[in-house]
Amino acid sequence: MAHCVVPEAEEILDKEYKVLDKGFVRLVDYLGGDARIVQAARVSYGEGTTTYRKDAALIEYLLRNRHTSPFEQVILTFHAKMPIFVARQWIRHRTARLNEVSGRYSVMNDDFFVPDPGSIALQSTDNKQGRNPDPVDPATAEQVRIAMADAQRRAYDEYTALLETGIARELARVNLPLALYTEWYWQIDLHNLFHFLELRLDPHAQAEIREYAKVMLEIARAVCPVATRAFEDHIAGGTAFSRAEFEALRALVAERTDDDVRSAAESAGLTGRAAERLAQKLATGRRL
């Protein structure tokens, strides 16, 4: 395959996107773009044998029908700095390759995450792993921020005191809190990046990791604008129904006339083949 250079991606290489109070994400390298996806799917064709419109339609078809291997031909390498509690959620996505800074070899920097007042909230009463959508009052938020910063300062002072006595770095670090910032290089193919973004852009994901996902979506859009738009249309912006939910949906649609369904499709921007696919999905429940 020919080397694939994406001008928009070249422009943002090594650009630092700020995230949270002290974090960032940078694209340090990439392999391929939308053209690479098309090349991989059309292995018997040379580059430039189809139009942009046909290439875009092919990419959308591949993603819509979950033909994932061509998307695995595109690889992005990120340099990211995040609090350890974000990293521990992030690393659950085991389809990437990473190299993280080590507290065994390096003295950790005095960088800790303190949430902004608007993100400090009480525990949710209906979500065991989340917080209420409404923040606490400003006075309480400031008390929480001060308490967190004081605890972080004490922990780091104790860490440096242990290092000064000659205690091994791998031992001195063990009491450092989850708010400490870490860094890593994280390399992943586009298919698995989309899976990461699908989960971490979801409103149920923790707010702090969503901020990183938003930036990485922006970077993916620079590298593969057509594929990313298809991802936003069919995955991030879509939803799935259980069998019972779909039967209920089909019953609702059955009460509408064909003109009602056609009008609803047109109001959503669905025309031609896209409108036909909607009608067939409602009739069969299958991806098309």
**Neighbouring C-beta atoms of residue 40, cutoff 10 Å:** 17
Is 200 marked active-site? yes
Three-state secondary-structure class, residue 113 = coil
User: How many residues does this entry show for the chain?
Assistant: 288
- Of 66, 104, 200, 277, the catalytic one is 200
Count of CA atoms in the C-beta half-sphere (13 A) of 16: 7
Distance (Å, whole) CA 23 – CA 80: 7
277, burial (CB in 10 Å: exposed 0-12, middle 13-18, buried 19+) = middle
Which tokens belong to 241?
């129904």
Helix pair 272-284, 243-254: axis angle to 10 deg = 110
**Neighbouring C-beta atoms of residue 27, cutoff 10 Å:** 24
Residues with catalytic function: 200
